[in-house]
């Protein structure tokens, strides 16, 4: 199974809860994809490296297999990526992303509430 997680508002806020879930998925042989957006439209190699460092700083450097950064407006790009790699589920805080995922016929779980 392939599962996607957003960074901002999702794993960045709930790393203590989602990090162990991400690691458990990987330990069980599943793929964990980070599927995030960048409002400044910097989806280039330098921005990917910065996002990778952000995940490492959250203690999640070992908790994922793939990192995808979409340009704004990212909701349809996230859905297209999810379809192209065969994600079974995307966990995200943005209702626009969750709506795009469900329109694409995939499962989305919207994270609400903040720690």
- The stretch 86-100 carries a mean pLDDT of 97
Global confidence as pTM: 0.93
Cα–Cα distance measured from residue 112 to residue 44, given in angstroms and rounded to the nearest whole number: 29
Residue 115 lies in a domain: no
Q: What is the pLDDT of residue 114?
A: 65
d(CA 24, CA 77): 27
> Could you tell me if residue 24 is inside a domain?
yes
Print the SS3 string covering 5-48.
Answer: ECHHHHHCCCHHHHHHHHHHHHHCCCEEEEEEEECCCCCCHHHH
Which domain, by its residues, includes 52?
2-110
Q: What is the pLDDT of residues 65-76, one digit of tens each?
A: 999 998 888 899
Q: Based on the structure, what is the number of domains in the chain? A: 1
**Per-residue model confidence (pLDDT) at position 3:** 98
What's the CATH code of the domain at 33? 3.40.50.1000
Q: Is residue 100 one of the residues assigned to a domain? A: yes
Q: Do the domain assignments include residue 59?
A: yes
* 88 vs 70 pLDDT, higher one: 88
Using one digit for the tens of pLDDT, what is the confidence trace for 6-15? 999 999 999 9
Tokens in use for 59? 């203690």
pLDDT level of residue 38 (50, 70, 90 thresholds)? confident
Asked, for residue 99, whether it belongs to a domain, the answer is yes
């Amino acid at each position: 199974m392939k599962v996607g997680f957003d960074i901002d508002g999702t794993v960045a806020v709930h790393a203590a809860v989602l990090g162990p879930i991400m690691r458990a998925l990987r330990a069980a042989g599943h793929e964990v994809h980070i599927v995030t957006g960048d409002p400044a439209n910097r989806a280039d190699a330098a921005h990917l490296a910065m996002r990778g460092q952000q995940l490492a700083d959250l203690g999640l450097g070992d908790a994922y297999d793939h990192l995808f950064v979409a340009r704004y407006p990212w909701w349809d790009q996230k859905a297209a990526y999810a379809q192209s790699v065969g994600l079974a589920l995307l966990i995200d805080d943005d209702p626009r992303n969750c709506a795009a995922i469900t329109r694409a016929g995939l499962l989305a779980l919207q994270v609400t509430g903040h720690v």
